[in-house]
A and B are shown apart, each in its own frame.
Chain A
Amino acid sequence: MQHVLACLSSAPSNARIIAAAARMAQGFGARFTALYIETPDFAVASAADKQRLNENTRLAEQLGAQVETIAGEDIPFQIAEYARLSGVTTIVLGQSAASRRRILPRPSLTDQLIAYAPSVDIHIIPDGQFSARYRPKRAEDRDAAGIVTDVLRSIGSLLAATVLGVLFDNMGFTDTNIIMVYILAVMLISVITSRLVFSLIASVVSVFAFNYLFTEPRFSFAAYGTGYPVTFITMFLTAMITGTFAGRYKQQAGQAARNAHRTRILFDTDKLLSVAQGREEILRALAGQIGKLLNRTIVIYPAENGVLAEPLTYGHGAQIPCDGQMEREAAQWAYTHNHRAGATTEIMPEAAYMYLALRVGERVYGAVGIEAKDSPLDASENGILLSILGEGALALENEKNAREKEMAAVLAKNEQLRANLLRTISHDLRTPLTTIAGNASSLMSSGESFDQETRRRLSEDIYNDAMWLYNLVENLLYSTRFENGQIDLRQSTELLSDIVEEALRHIRPGARTIAYSAGDEYLLVHADARLLTQVVVNIVDNAVKYTPEGAVIEVVMRREDAMAVVEIADDGPGIAPEETERIFDKFYSGANKSRIADNRRSLGLGLYLCRAIVQAHGGWIRAGRRKPHGAVFTFAIPLKEVTFDEDLSGSGG
């Protein structure tokens, strides 16, 4: 897959580059990433530059780019590294960036990029009216208080150095020690002030102060010693260079710290998102991370079926209500247009929150609101926020894909089951229907010519087949109540013996004997009477169906700890050991079909339903073998314990 990378910068011409890259990405059907390399200079960039960078970032975002921020000094190396790691196929650059040259003859950005990443296409976009060389400006509007502090600090440091120098001079130390003290002061200034210019001025001042105070003739800027000019120049250069390095080091340290912070948050986010189960947890992890980063209240509107659901609020810092029509509309706008809205933006700026779309490319998974009424986010916060949102959206997308895949699998399986069911049913219905229709038509056309016995036999066959069909329809109907694992139980407290007796009333055992014993105890269960009756009907019916005439079917009830147990045993041929588990499977109708007493196949639904019903009641069911031969079905459901107001064994009346 193609992957287009545009480099973000604070240059006014950058918008053109982003637009061109976006068009290209769209043309290729490619992924589109906007990359910003945050150099140490960024901290001192002017407000206008920062503002423009924000605008460019937003534009990229709006055009469907994934915005990434990387900190580093070597711009071409960072771009090339990113391109290599992210599988970028095309890099889009502006002309000015491409042709920018330093004072020292260095290879152009393009040349370096080609050297670092030779396999990537590089497109250069002409800057048009912006071709005038653009240089990022440093911030000029620093607050006066900052400058005053810096000036005071510089003067203080230099004064301290001078006092120390006078002290050393009086103690008879050599000039070298005094020079060292001044260099130390310059270094100190470069660390404690925020701009290089102070250490530069301090170097100059310290050279003149040294000259004025400590070289013969004292208190004049003249110097007798022939070596002094060299000393002064060396001192100036040393002070300046150490000062510059110290300052740069300080900036880098700051940046490294910021970098580490950002990396840690992104790493944590990644880790949290990867362990989050389900959408709810992903959203919570996401909100937690953003909240931790920004220390603001976060509100998330997850999208459900194309509309925003009820918002989830995660408190951090000041709690500002995020309800109200305005907030919702702003969130909806951000969601619909895939563009930020609300506070600090042009769209509905009256809202208390700034809303960003939670998205992967063009697919939006919701809107995230960040409380930003009075304090807009700065560029670095913005960058990392976009990264976190990107991660979150990706996690949501993965979760959605996984869920869809699972649903599709379930759907396919259900479809398969349904097809099986229809096939089995249509096949199995045909046999009894043929008998019913055939016998009925015989009775209609020539009923008078049959003798009494023949008519009775034909009618009985019709009746039996109709009852068989009826039971099958019952099972099908009950099994629909267990569709998709949703169980619809209508429970009430029942005497187990009532249920079993009711079930036995529906059984036509033919030439088999049913020996039923209720036991002495009253077993009360909290059960769906109809469904539990069907369990007993199905098991006893099976016993009748699979045993030869003359067989005895025993139905026994007893208490076992906190369970009510029903055991149904027959002395027929029994079940093969390898089948005792499988017979409860849906549509399993026995490996050895010849065992079935009548020639009709079973639908394989009865025992499946039994297990489903018993399990829904919190019980268990199992099949076993009986010695010397026969099958035993045992099922148990929890007993309902009750207390009574009246002594049951009392007498009178």
Chain B
Amino acid sequence: MKTYRVLVVEDDAPVRNLITTTLRANDYRYIAVSGGEEAVMETASHNPDIVLLDLGLPDMDGVEVIRRVRSWSNVPIIVISARNEDEDKIDALDAGADDYLTKPFSVNELLARLRVTQRRLMIMNAGGASDSVFVNGQLRIDYAAGCAYLGEEELRLTPIEYKILCLMAQNVGKVLTHKYITQQVWGSSWENDVVSLRVFMATLRKKLHAAPDMPQYIQTHVGVGYRMQRVDG
């Protein structure tokens, strides 16, 4: 199994310590830095597999770090933010971050996010993006036929619901902001589109969640956006 290299960018020593201890205990390799400039430099020179980035850095805005890194690299970035920085979180996601963690987070949550990102990396590396069929658990999307299935049943979706589902599937594991989704689906992000998105998402989730014991394919991140999770089986 591959050992992943993680760049930890966190200025607070105890939190940095917590993260690196967790990483070490779970067989990750890591580099820890405390500033934004260093983070950009380390990303360029060490080419890590995943970046864990605290938004509140002393020398540079975390969002700025993402913009700089994104100018040449597609390395997955997981943002770590305090809970009252919703807008910053959305900015970070729009700037190209893949996922976020809210302080205080549990160690298990951190590890789960890392696993999700690893799976994304595997799919990206396998070049599966060009597949004409997307499979996630019981969910199957046939892009060529323009149909989606849950198990053997064809899902009865409206055109917009289908469009949203495809968008989520293409970015599986990644949190998509409301703004991103509305821009992709409607081509704009008016208030009315955002409102519509809420309702389409709710109906879509209901159709994907046919039985109570089934897993949720689409997670809601209140105030931020949505994410399709990988489901086993």
Contacts and interface: CB of A to CB of B under 8 A. Distances in A.
A642 B200 CA distance: 13
A530 B84 CA distance: 9
A579 interface: no
B115 to A, nearest CB: 19
B198 A651 contact: no
B31 interface: no
A498 B158 contact: no
Interface string B173-211: 000000000000000000110111011111100000000
Interface string A491-505: 011110111011000
B222 A498 contact: yes
A474 interface: yes
Nearest to B84: A477
A224 interface: no
A652 B155 CA distance: 8
From A474, A499, A653, residue with most partner B Cβ within 10 Å? A653
A451 interface: no
Interface string A529-557: 11001000000000000000000000000
By DSSP majority rule, is chain B's interface helix, strand, loop, or mixed?
helix
B191 A493 contact: yes
A530 B223 CA distance: 7
Given A524-B195, A640-B195, A490 B158 contact: no
A79 B172 CA distance: 95
Interface string A641-653: 0101111101111
Given A470-B104, A499-B222, A642-B195, A650 B158 contact: yes
B195 A646 contact: no
B198 A495 contact: yes
Contacts of B201: 495
Contacts of B198: 493-495, 498, 522, 524
B86 A653 contact: no
A45 interface: no
Interface residues of A, number: 30
A522 B1 CA distance: 45
Contacts of A497: 202
A533 B158 contact: no
A241 interface: no
From A493, A502, A533, A647, residue with most partner B Cβ within 10 Å? A493
A349 B125 CA distance: 86
Nearest to A466: B104
Contact of B160 (A477, A522, A646, A651): A646
B161 interface: yes
A474 B83 contact: yes
B199 A653 contact: no
A285 to B, nearest CB: 44
Given A652-B159, A653-B148, A502 B195 contact: no
B83 A653 contact: no
B86 A652 contact: no
Nearest to A533: B222
Nearest to B194: A493
Interface of A: 466, 470, 474, 477, 490, 492-495, 497-499, 501-502, 522, 524, 529-530, 533, 640, 642, 644-648, 650-653
- The 4 A-B pairs of least Cβ separation, nearest first, read A653-B157, A653-B162, A529-B223, A651-B156
11 contacts: A490-B86, A493-B191, A498-B220, A502-B220, A530-B83, A530-B84, A533-B222, A640-B195, A646-B159, A646-B160, A651-B157
